[in-house]
Structure 1
């Protein structure tokens, strides 16, 4: 999934370095015609290492660089000199990147901390020099070990956006408009489905210089968990949000049904998503007069007895402070609550 410079999914082929060969050199110097073995060991091959970087937000660096190779170890030499280790290669990735084995689909690890390092392909060991093989029965071994080959593997990097609140809703529900109003983010906004083709992040400034991060995630359609529409690709971004904000327009045919469809798509993708805190925002309420709003409120009290909800209008700037207050309260509640 990509738009502009945002790339959250890449496949790479990585190769670590081969270990250097051990030396089979025999010691030679003036007045010493038959010196013993003094061949040094080969150097280790370079590792391929993935390292977390909190300053990165995308995998764009790997758009056109899909093959990563580490350096080979140097060969051993005389006087038991060990060859130089091969140069390690570092793959810098944003926090929240999942590393998966492309061939087996197995998750290898996930990068969550700044400067966290994960060796994804170990360099081959260097071969031992001939002095290791000297014995009472073989005083001058003329052989040594070759270096061990490095590893090759195919990996997939999947980025999960790191945010406090994830905006969940159908296409064209007004998520991008809300994000543009409560944060300084400037997402693409238009009156057609799938305007948002990538997650947009925005920082909400709250009272007393406090803040939290909201992610506008591409809209869900029914069947998204099976790959329809934009498919499951965007759903992984929701996994890293601690709170889910469901945005449903007040003119929906059935608010409760829309909410249940959205919830079901999350459940089918990953049942653990249902354990997250939730808040429902009924949007576009500037279209309602007081009588219609009271009628809708009465229905929602019946439909959502355990899930909090607020009425908002991004265009008319209605209910936005209450929305921020509710989100802040949820994000900062005690674990026992």
Structure 2
């Protein structure tokens, strides 16, 4: 969904007839979901999941959303910073456990996190006696974390943690600013890209270009209406976050959370993205979700979805394209929503 279908060699052996039929059925299912979002950037090899229209319960994906396997970092990266807990006395068997130990020190309702970054040694052969060491650290500026080293010879895996009211960016438009909470624990590569984007002086080319309301398929809270279709329209606004003239590197797929109202996710491997106005449990865990719009700003997204559009057809699917694309300025936001950095 959102990228071109990838041709596969089905095979020529007649004895594999049953396997061929199964493959064709899976290909057809993938084609359905791949046509919902425009494949305007063919650089990705993203494989989406097929749509399941069985009205799956929201509870199916809650374990993953609550942290099951979704607390991770970036391999071959060693972050520096003031040690809160020394790894020589603080060991775990997995990066997920190390990540969660940092998050556990960031559960207070007020004040900054005691731990905002972690470094874990998980390669038994490379780490030797340091295997399992989990260093919990505090950065001077989490938006610009200190790097000790990175590359193929680095044996460490590192990650960031944003506490309540932290890690918020603003997508400023002429219709208002969408404040987005980033998820570095479940989408570390994606957040790393956003942090790099914030260091640029501009984001020419960043814009919203597609807008579709909930239609008669979802209610005001984004819940799917029983027996209604799953689109079109697909209840989303779509755009791109790529600075014109800058080379873009494909973002690794970081599947974890399910698409719910307000989430911000990549189309394939970016830089195209969408903000969902509804909960698409039928898409299961098909997208890299790297943030969510603060609830109080969803009315801005709804406003954009109601702007004048013109019909278009992408991969045989009817879509609604904005008559006038909306430029986006990306900015770093304080916990009180004050701009403390330049706008892109």
TM-score range, shorter chain: under 0.3
Greater Rg, structure 1 or structure 2?
Answer: 1
Larger RCO, structures 1/2 (Cα 8 Å, 6+ apart): 2
The TM-score with structure 1 as length reference comes to 0.25
The TM-score with structure 2 as length reference comes to 0.24
